Every structure is written in structure tokens, then in C-alpha cells.
Structure 1
Amino acid sequence: MRLNIYLTGVGGQGLITFASVLGQAAVDSGLRALVAETHGLSQRGGAVDVHVRIGDVDSPLIPKGGADIVVAFELIEALRSLPFTNRATVLIVNRRLIPPPILKVKLPKPELIEAEVKGRVARAYFINAYDYAVKIGNPVFENMVMLGALHALSRVSEVISVESIEGAIVKVIGKAVSENLKAFRLGRSIASSVS
């Protein structure tokens, strides 16, 4: 069994924490897990990529076209992730558009991004994770909302239990545990209503 999960977003969105929780949950489930961060100016709002490989894997990086699942924490980053997808890839996208730090850049319309993404993969799901995190009390929880959506919408639930992920949240995050658990559970619950 092998599961390749490619994460992409912008610095400060919690991708590395997300990957650490997922990797810990996989290990706690008796699976091999490799996590590789390939990021640039993440602390300056730049792009962040994280490769999570679970199961029968020996190298940490997912080859182009080799992602089973892509989790995009931002709409423009969803477009940037497309080289890692194939027709069978499941794409889970946070409906958040973060302007790049370059002045006078014309942003693409969100509906055009969604149409492009939907045309490239078998299944694409769009989640308002940022909005749900704000309702919980802090946008920092959007990563756990996305983790809940990942668990509910993909094969991850076949190999890693809810209990393993919740246990990993406690181990890895260690602070604001109740809010992070609430965000994860919210992500799982809202995933049933997304299209």
C-alpha cells in the first residue's frame, strides 16, 4: 500500500504542522511515513510544499504526476500543484485567495481557478476552511479543518483512524488542543456537504 499526499500553500497556514500530525498518526497506525518539506520564503508569505508519503515508500519526494491526493491551502497554490496530479488524483482545496506579495498583480477569478482544477482531476472538493476556522475563534485552525476534510474525503480514512489522528494532534501540537480537535472534527463534518 502506498499513499502520496502533496500539500501546498503559503507560509503561515500550518502545512508543516498538518504534515507532522498526519505523519505521526500514520506511524501510530503501524505505517511507514516520510515527510519532506520543500519550501522557500515560507516566513515571508511565500509558497510552501510538503510531501507526505505513507506505506511502501523509500524516497521522500512525490514524483510529478504521482500524487494520489493534493491538499491545497490556497486557490493559486491549487493551480501550482497541478503538475503533481493525474486523472485519478483527489484534490481538496481551501477556497482562500491570498494575494502574492508582488505589487500590482492581477488575481485570477476564483471561479476560473475552480473550473481549471475541476477539469484536471477526477475529484475536486472546495472547502471554506478559513471561514470555519475564524468561527472557531482563530484562523490558525484552518489547517486542522483541512485535515478533517482530508480524512473524510479520501482514502486516508481507510488506513488511519480518527483516534490515531486525534492522538497525533495531542502529541504534535500540545497547545490549544481542544480547539485543534474541534477544528479537525468540524472539517470531517463539513466534508459531507461539499461538492
Structure 2
Amino acid sequence: MIGQVKGSLKMATVVALVAGGLAVSGCATKKYVNTQVGAVNTRVDGHDTQIAELDKTSREALDRATAAGKLAEGKFMYSMVLSDDSVKFPTDQDALSPEAEQRLADFAAKLKEENKNVYLEIQGYTDATGESGYNEKLGQRRADAVRKFLSRQGVALNRMATISYGAEDPVAPNETTEGRAQNRRVVIMVLA
């Protein structure tokens, strides 16, 4: 009987040790799992924050675009193109012809007569001959020549802006002499 008790005691000790080991192992596993879940939750929370920031930025960009669209609605009034036969710019030139000056003087008189507070965007263009950088500068010189002339006619400088598009956006093929002549132009956008 003492042998049985000793055996049972040994068995109980082994069972207790195994159970304790499993309990300790279970605690260690539970702690490890909790640590890993916590790390994943931290990353998920970080991603949620980033998504919320992106969503806010997207909403703000959409709001700005919508406001700009509303601002631009109905603002374009008309445009005047200086490229017909009487006012084409010769190749590599930015000087206004007498015909161009007369059309611009009539245009300035019309603006003064209507007495509207308008804004002019003066766009300079070239044909495709020449290098891109040179064409940008030539288009700018053409637009500036128109701005200076209109200023001398009494159009306020703060109501005019110039921009050069160089050889961008041709209105005719650059492969023909006639097409290149049409592309050497200035466009005046009249905005309210």
C-alpha cells in the first residue's frame, strides 16, 4: 500500500508538474498572442488614421475644385484671335502690324465703351519651326506686345496677364506655309 501511495504520489506530482508546465506554457502563449494582437491593432489603428487623413485631404481637394468650378462658371465672355490675314505675325517676329494695331485699338475702345470690369488673358503662340524654348520666348514677346499696346490705349495693366504657349495647341497643320501662318497668333480671352 505504501508502494501504491508512493506511486500515486509520484503520478500526482508528475500530473501537477505537467499541468503546471501547461499552465505556464499557456500563459506564455497567451502573453505572446496578446502581444502580437496588440502590435497588429496598433498597425491597423495607424492605417485607419492614414486613411482618415487621406479622406480628409481628398474631401478638401474636391471642395477646392468645386469652388473653382463655381468661380469659373459664366466667367468666360468671349475671345479675340489675332491670326487672320490682316494681323498674322511674320516668322520670328513679335512686332504688331498697323492692321493689328487698328484691331486692338478698336477692341480697347469697345472695352472702354462697355465699361465692364473684365480681365484679359493674352495668350501668345508660334508655329512649330524653331526650338521649343525659343518658341516659348517668342510667344511671350508676342503676348507682351499686345499687352503693351492695349495699355497705351487705356486698358489697365492689372487687368491683363500674358502667357506663352509657344508651339502648343496649333490651330492648323505646321506642315504647310498657310498652317504655320495661322499658328503664329495671339488669343485674347475676355473674362468677367
Which structure has greater helix proportion? Answer: 2
Specify the structure having the higher radius of gyration (Cα).
Answer: 2
Which structure has greater strand proportion? Answer: 1
TM-score (norm 2): 0.26
Work out which structure has the larger RCO, using CA pairs closer than 8 Å and 6 or more positions apart in sequence: 2
